[in-house]
Structure 1
Amino acid sequence: MESSALLTIGLPSALGIIMFGLGLTLTVGDFRRIAESPRAVVVALALQLLVLPAFAFGLIQLFDMAPLLAIGMMLLAASPGGTTANLYSHLFRGDVALNITLTAINAVLAAITVPIITNFAINYFGAEGQVGLQLSKVVQVIAIVLAPVILGMIVRRFFPGFAASADRPVRTFSVAVLALVSVGALVAERENVADYARQVGLVTAIFCLGSLALGYTGARLLRLARPQAIATSFEVGIHNTAVAMTIALSVLDSAEAAIPAAVYSVLMYVLAAVFGYLITRIDGTGKDSAGGAAAPTTQHAH
């Protein structure tokens, strides 16, 4: 995809605004809360940072994906959880405070993990001649992911009224950008859309449902309470696909690498809702499987 002002300036700037909006919803207390449930945080992060990329890598091998699409899948797996996970967790009686804590941690870790996983994929799938993520671009990723989050947190700390009033407009902007970028990525590759749909439609759907299931069952097998397992499932299964698409389009300069995230951005909302409904029906409504009441989830919700 040819470089343009839209990709080199507009898209990173839009992502910066989205990440700034994320920062407006976070406080230092969200990081301090790690001490309240360290086990749940460690389990969720292990599933997200280690198991999920391994799962994506396995699917890539199984479906024998083309190199750039494979890189796009790994970039999707590396992208942090989306703030929408908080909403889904609240709707299906998850531990929203845990979601907010994980969102805060992931916003910081993504600046490190996204370049590492993306560079691994570029080297492994042999696409060095087409895309690259050198040191200067790693710094660019950190700048568009981490710096706006920190700025948003500072603004919230000193101007809480502005942070509260800006929340809705920034969320609306985020949805609009995500829709535009998704459509733009698909339009840019319109001649290959049918082929891409065949290659990534099924694999992204499996990845989405598998991610949600891994988050939930992994947390339960490691003896986390049901509300924490629900929170983990949505944090692992719902990604900030705007991060993946922005890096693919503006940093890697590849519309093809953005296709998996574009398709996932459409599928994940529907599949996450279906998954939430199913675990509510199967595992009991509002109850922990051990019989206790679900933990309250309204505190700290955004």
Structure 2
Amino acid sequence: MSAAEIISNIFLPLSLAIIMLGMGMTLIPADFTRLVKYPKAILIGLTNQLILLPAVGFTLAIAFNLSPIMAVGLIILATCPGGPTSNLITQICKGNIALSATLTAITSFVSIITIPFILAFALDYFGTATGVTIKLPILDTILQIMVITVIPISIGMLIRKYKIKFALRMKKPMRIASTAIFILVFIAVIVANFEILSTAMREVGLVTLLLNLITMGLGYVTARLFKLQLKNVISITVESGIQNGTLAFVIATSILHNVEMGIPTGAYAIWMFITGGILMWQLGKKPEIDSK
């Protein structure tokens, strides 16, 4: 197993699961029931991730006249919204963690249906149809969501319920640990994938940066336009601009059998960590935001 595979298959999922456990210790059931009673934030977040994000991806691919391979690679990335990394960044930015986790769970399940349709259209539109049937690993995707996100958060919430003093005491240390893990993962990803990342930045560096900035900007603007609370604005901004790069790379390499299509994901990973890191640095040092 290569260093890149060890990082993506073992280190990253384990680290994110630990972080999700810490997040769970900051949550109570009311955080989720509040979202159900007032679903506007969820609907805005889903619209951004499932509709606006792929639309921006298509627009940029056409505007930059990308080669068919790079264009499809960009669309693959744009169809894979959310992921545990967005939950981590939301936590450190002091956004609404319950909203972030809910959006990640919903979009992960819905994208099992939307990704094949969007990619089939992209393959046909950009002239790279391969005749393959796009079938996502549904069981693996569900297990990934459960093991990395749902189960650790649930355990954390149980700890919060029965050991509230311990949970509150661990809030700051877990946030510091989450920041440290984020930095270590960023460094590890660069070191393990240096060759493909250098190629990616040369070929699609600018277009992937724009995808990241535009989708984050749309998330912020739409959330503000509908007058959401600041914690929800932060969550939607992050969820709109932080994509599930792991799933995108799996689709490109294992389903479409084209490593080159994974190049935009490599470039996007750099920008994602940089912009996410800037948000964490700016918002993480601010006082806790009132969630009411």
What TM-score, normalized to structure 2? 0.70
Task: Establish whether residue 209 from structure 1 lines up as the match of residue 210 from structure 2.
Answer: no
The equivalent position to 2:117 in structure 1, one of 107, 116, 120, is 120
Tell me the residue number matched to 1:268. 272
The equivalent position to 1:199 in structure 2, one of 196, 203, 228, is 203
Quote the offset at 1:249 in angstroms.
Answer: 5.1
Report matched runs for 1:92-241 at 5 Å: 96-97=95-96, 100-126=97-123, 129=130, 133-134=134-135, 137-159=137-159, 164=170, 172-173=180-181, 175-188=183-196, 193=199, 196-225=200-229, 228-241=232-245
Tell me the residue number matched to 1:72. 73
Quote the offset at 1:15 in angstroms.
Answer: 4.5
Work out the CA distance in 2 between the residues paired with 1:260 and 1:248. Answer: 10
Task: Establish whether residue 297 from structure 1 lines up as the match of residue 289 from structure 2.
Answer: yes
Q: Percent identity?
A: 24
Work out the CA distance in 1 between the residues paired with 2:90 and 2:42. Answer: 15
Report matched runs for 1:239-258 at 5 Å: 239-245=243-249, 248=252, 254-258=258-262
Quote the offset at 1:60 in angstroms.
Answer: 1.6
Instruction: Give the 3 Å change call, closer, same or farther, for CA 105–253 of structure 1 in structure 2.
Output: farther
The residue type paired with residue 51 of structure 2 is L
Tell me the residue number matched to 1:44. 45
Work out the CA distance in 1 between the residues paired with 2:121 and 2:115. Answer: 10
Work out the CA distance in 2 between the residues paired with 1:257 and 1:85. Answer: 26
What 5-or-longer segments of structure 2 have no aligned partner? none
What 5-or-longer segments of structure 1 have no aligned partner? 91-95, 281-285, 287-294
Work out the CA distance in 2 between the residues paired with 1:298 and 1:131. Answer: 50
Instruction: Give the 3 Å change call, closer, same or farther, for CA 70–15 of structure 1 in structure 2.
Output: farther
Work out the CA distance in 2 between the residues paired with 1:175 and 1:129. Answer: 38
Q: Deviations over 1:60-96 (max 9, x none)?
A: 2222333443343233332305134325644xxxxx2
The residue type paired with residue 82 of structure 2 is P
Quote the offset at 1:226 in angstroms.
Answer: 5.4
The residue type paired with residue 80 of structure 1 is G
Tell me the residue number matched to 2:56. 55
Number of residue pairs the alignment of both structures matches: 271
Q: 8 Å contact 2:100–2:235 — kept in the other structure? A: no
Q: 8 Å contact 1:102–1:235 — kept in the other structure? A: no
CA RMSD of aligned residues (A): 4.1
Instruction: Give the 3 Å change call, closer, same or farther, for CA 41–188 of structure 1 in structure 2.
Output: closer
